[in-house]
Structure 1
């Protein structure tokens, strides 16, 4: 399941600043040009700089954050009839040829957003980043403070992205941990963002230590996703589900292609009995779309999986990888499918990212690709306005360019109405801190109560206002019963009260944006104890950014590596301002090349 804020009862502190963007600056000590974090703090704007020679420092930019932001957003307005490139901002991206980190100009051209880059080794390159410049610029207005984990795994040292693990400079805690329990798979998908070698299954012992690490770092964890490879190929999958079934874990989600689910009823019944959820890859309805996306016709097998999930009433998320010229014409059809069944809790659109196997073999044009605004537009056009562009909002938990979402309130007659029809998310931004389902936290209760009052006051302006009020009151009654509930129960109470549609665009070598990585909240826990931001791991550590056998980055470290365990680095609230500039408590030891990682547990290697 997609997660957005995970405010589930654990006392995790929000950052004392709001990370906003990256921009070039000059170190005040040695005058070296350096990329800085721009943050909003105490009604002002500050640059946070990490210089390799002089260490961390700060520079005041403005004492008027509101005025500064207004000027920034205005800079993104190219104006009517503007010809050519309109420079908007700076970031750091990657060369699509050699994968070197290099500066990128973010430019607006003909209503779209592009990265313009020039590599000393490979030459100039460009890539489409957003099909709608107005959406891209406005998304920055949704920025809000991230949340600190209880424990940071590594210490900030040389700067992003080399310190991943995650370090004290990372701007968001782990909202959704994705644990790759195997790299065996029964498909060879042309769009696969990883690089399966059919060599490893995670051991029970290593998995248990990963779960312990996550609970130590995060306290309460809303969702844990089990991925691969194909996780249902793991011979001890149900044992892993049992290990993760604990009070601190809200739900366990198995991300699967569904092939085993559809043909193995006994296995599907075990999934149901375990309480696990399913995230089903479902990319289309015709043989040709399956062949292009997944390598062969899967129509019958996907239909069998859908029947099994419905019959057993297993809570399900649908995942639709959307690719230009392949399956974009079926976006509306999958929305209709999603709305047709109560056990479908969430729908996740993922515009295709060209990393892993897909980075090498899936034909693509970086200047003509689907992006989040393009998928949203297709949803409106192909559903006849059942969902509209205005129903979606950027997600502030991650970087606002990473995810967009819409919640759909279940009405008492079984239909659904998007929250955007009756909620102003700029006023009630707290609701964007929920997850694939509405969580029963105090802040959600207060926000929902405020929405009831707003809808009541604007009844003449809102279509079906009486029905919406009745549904909101029912939802509040269900989610907030007059009795104590555990943190785990609170996560589940809202699951059938509203559906959600997420759009999550993972990055590749064309559109990689270090600024987005900085606030990534989808993380891959590793065998050696690191907690790795997903797109950084895919780009620099898998060895598959351009397809299999891509050379690792100099700081890269492949999955399934068992080096010395990472020592935790814990920042206390009194150290927060120091933590923001990278001065932490504790140190990370040098790796011991022959040590067995994560407390001595190795993954199981099958010949």
Structure 2
């Protein structure tokens, strides 16, 4: 027994707490597949794994054991993938060494990402997408319209649930000169929901471009928004008000997407929500993403920046003065009982969110018309009781009970789970659920979003906390030109096997692209046009002025030193 093994065993005996479960992970140094232990210590959840060559790594997994236990009650397997549409045969699949969806995968594609360029107009310090000219092996990746079509067609062909939600991402997708054609091509293949992952800079400067992508088929912008001050959000602090104004003009909706980094912007989570609240006419959600720590980092550095879902939820409770409490949040798979009962009523498989309970969480909040305070859904709905009731009814129908009689019973009992006195004015939750259950009609959901904010939390993995149990349940996937569908936390966590290798194979050297495009790569970098105080009128989109930007920014609580 060598020194590493002895040290590891000693640590196991004296430092670890209660074992929760065992899983598999990877070594952050060499990617070797390792057995891993998930355990509780001091009210938090950790992961530990030991590589025979590189030693033990211990990492914070979930910041609250109490919340972990609550969320774990919603652990469910999903429908997975039919063998007829699997990308990889099960005999060739050794997770995560040969990813592409196989029949071992337990979730269908809930959201598919399509990278349309790895160019970006920013050089943010924590991002891995910017193409750095001059580095050996630098390449530029932009799939052709034919490849875009083939990837969208593949997603739509997925079974048992055809993929129907796609995110155009990058790099910065808006750098593609043919981005409107990209959107139209995806729409032509029958994809109904398209969201654009963007920093918004190009759209802030060009309202007509915003109109074009909206008319081409983009449903909403997935807008990067890391904070309400220039210090926390140097990326697009000055540009966001223009994005909002142009979105209003063309009828585009927006979801704010803050990357949350401990010690950098975790003190502004409440202010981000307040800013979204003040713009609820166009901002319909905030989806926080605790940072994935890519690259090699020391344990001290990881402890400085690592933040998990419970940590963010606790900060939101504190920073909203208790308006959005911890118990307002539920894990993503908690909505599966609703899917189950709809399936039994319709006799057809339905879209489901069967990801691992530790991957994400969410809630809805409503603004009280008088006090302007935020009221979470849990303040007037017995969510746990309602979900248990849906599950019970689904099981009854599976056991042979008449589904029509069950439908009538469910609809008649919906109001018993809702406190109508506390329900926000203009919202009739029982009526909305009845419409969904009886008619599978989701039109009424639109009025819900007008009056509420969705608050979400999605923590993607990295090499330090990679859990293959989670990976096999991932429903956020990447489409690739070699016609594979690859789980997010394989594609990005092990880029040398997936993202970088695929993009290099289907890309071209930077020098070749520059010669073909007739311009240097650096010419696409944003020069801070809106930050100089003298915006060009034609760039601002018919009357959007700096005074409006200052007004919007100052509305956000805590903005100082602007």
What TM-score does the superposition give when structure 1 sets the normalisation length?
A: 0.67
Distance 2:189 2:446 in 1: 13
Distance 1:445 1:419 in 2: 24
The 5-angstrom pairing of residues 557-576 of structure 1 reads 558-560=501-503
3-state SS of the aligned residue for 1:161? coil
Residues 359 and 100 of structure 1: is their aligned pair in 2 closer, same or farther, counting only changes over 3 Å? same
Distance 2:195 2:215 in 1: 14
The 5-angstrom pairing of residues 271-420 of structure 1 reads 271-276=213-218, 277-291=220-234, 294=235, 298-340=236-278, 341-355=280-294, 364-366=301-303, 369-396=306-333, 397-409=354-366, 417-420=375-378
Distance 2:375 2:411 in 1: 15
Whether contact under 8 Å (2:25, 2:36) holds in the other structure is: yes
Alignment deviations for residues 39-74 of structure 1 (CA, whole Å, 9 cap, x no partner): xxxxxxxxxxxxxxxxxxxxxxxxxxxxxxxxxxxx
Residues 235 and 361 of structure 1: is their aligned pair in 2 closer, same or farther, counting only changes over 3 Å? farther
Whether contact under 8 Å (2:119, 2:129) holds in the other structure is: no
Whether contact under 8 Å (1:391, 1:419) holds in the other structure is: yes
Equivalent residue number for residue 177 of structure 1:
112
3-state SS of the aligned residue for 1:510? coil
Alignment deviations for residues 238-274 of structure 1 (CA, whole Å, 9 cap, x no partner): 0011112258422210000111111122211212323
Residues 481 and 147 of structure 1: is their aligned pair in 2 closer, same or farther, counting only changes over 3 Å? closer
3-state SS of the aligned residue for 1:387? coil
Distance 1:450 1:247 in 2: 40
Distance 1:446 1:351 in 2: 41
Distance 2:482 2:114 in 1: 13
Whether contact under 8 Å (1:179, 1:226) holds in the other structure is: yes
Distance 2:389 2:128 in 1: 31
Whether contact under 8 Å (1:221, 1:249) holds in the other structure is: yes
3-state SS of the aligned residue for 1:118? strand
Higher deviation after alignment, 248-257 or 136-145: 136-145
Whether contact under 8 Å (2:118, 2:141) holds in the other structure is: yes
Residues 415 and 245 of structure 1: is their aligned pair in 2 closer, same or farther, counting only changes over 3 Å? farther
Distance 1:359 1:448 in 2: 54
3-state SS of the aligned residue for 2:21? strand
2:180 is equivalent to residue 238 of structure 1: yes
3-state SS of the aligned residue for 1:174? coil
State the shift of 1:95 in Å.
2.0
2:140 is equivalent to residue 210 of structure 1: no
3-state SS of the aligned residue for 1:249? coil
What TM-score does the superposition give when structure 2 sets the normalisation length?
A: 0.72
Give the aligned CA root-mean-square deviation in angstroms.
3.6
3-state SS of the aligned residue for 2:302? coil
Instruction: Decide which of 380, 405, 413 is 1:422's aligned counterpart.
Output: 380
Aligned length, in residue pairs: 452
3-state SS of the aligned residue for 1:427? helix
State the shift of 1:215 in Å.
0.8
Residues 481 and 520 of structure 1: is their aligned pair in 2 closer, same or farther, counting only changes over 3 Å? closer
Equivalent residue number for residue 133 of structure 1:
65
Equivalent residue number for residue 452 of structure 1:
415
2:196 is equivalent to residue 254 of structure 1: yes
Distance 1:432 1:95 in 2: 42
Residues 307 and 124 of structure 1: is their aligned pair in 2 closer, same or farther, counting only changes over 3 Å? same
State the shift of 1:141 in Å.
0.9
Unaligned runs of 5+ in 1: 1-81, 434-441, 544-551, 564-596, 598-604
Higher helix fraction (1 or 2): 2
Equivalent residue number for residue 496 of structure 1:
450
Instruction: Decide which of 183, 207, 210 is 1:268's aligned counterpart.
Output: 210
3-state SS of the aligned residue for 2:59? strand
